[in-house]
Amino acid sequence: MLEHNLDEVRRRIAKACVAAGRDPAEVRLLLATKQVPAGRVAEAVRLGATLIGENRVQELAAKDPVLAPLDCERHFIGRLQTNKVNQVLRYVTCVHSIDRIDLADRLQRRLDTLDQAVDVLVQVNTSNEQSKGGVPPERAETLVRDVARHDRLRVKGLMTIGPLAHDAGQVRTAYRMLRQIRDDIAETAPSNVHLDVLSMGMSGDFEHAIAEGSTLIRVGSAVFGSRRRE
Ligand SMILES: *Cc1c(COP(=O)(O)O)cnc(C)c1O
């Protein structure tokens, strides 16, 4: 089942890339593994998954004994509380959800102590839905600049969670907005900021995200099946 689902997702990615005139190599597949037991995640890695994303520090910790030895990169894609910063850095190479400066401050402080660096994405709320994290679009540029002043944070791009809408037009508008924000910021960005990554698109809508320039899609239920509600 897992193998079949993964093949199906890869086929959808390839098709969306052809339709958009893009090279499939430009689009990374991140498997969103919340609520998925570590053994199943390990199976996905054996089937070729190279990148997984968790949205809770607790789950990262619980699955770490199984996942740490595997050849697979881990990212943090959920809402990050400042008091979880020290812990999350044990497990991940990239945090997708920087949406306020105090998070950057806390990461910088801890990374100073560890003498390490981490990749980060600035999360933008493109849907105007209160339940979603992310900085409002009009504050994205300022936040990127402020985060970039932290020399242990490597700003790699932007992330957004698409709207719940079933209306394709609304979904496309949100993803197009993220890309536009990226293009605008990139023109005047500090030289240490390379906004190559656009983390956008999930199981139900990643074709739209790919059409709008996504370089990293985050897919959970299309591979692992539906989850219980959180
Ligand atoms: C769960 C999750 C996803 C994947 O959602 P699916 O609809 O299951 O593909 C993507 N991004 C984030 C931030 C998530 O928490």
For 47-74, what is each residue's pLDDT tens digit?
999 999 999 999 999 999 999 999 999 9
Q: Given this model, what pLDDT does residue 222 score?
A: 97
- Coil vs helix vs strand at 21: coil
Q: Take atom 11 of ligand 1 and give the residue whose Cα is closest.
A: 218
Q: Which atom of ligand 1 is nearest to the CA of 30?
A: 10
The residue to mutate among 8, 13, 55, having the most atoms of ligand 1 within 8 angstroms of its beta carbon, is 55
pLDDT at 129 > cutoff 90: no
pLDDT at 103 > cutoff 70: yes
Q: Given this model, what pLDDT does residue 132 score?
A: 87
- Distance, CA 83 to ligand 1 centroid (Å)? 23
Q: pLDDT tens digits for 2-58?
A: 999 999 999 999 999 999 999 999 999 999 999 999 999 999 999 999 999 999 999
pLDDT at 84 > cutoff 90: yes
Tracing tokens 């090279």 back to the chain, one arrives at 23
pLDDT at 195 > cutoff 90: yes
The residue to mutate among 31, 74, 77, having the most atoms of ligand 1 within 8 angstroms of its beta carbon, is 77
| % of the chain at pLDDT higher than 90 | 91
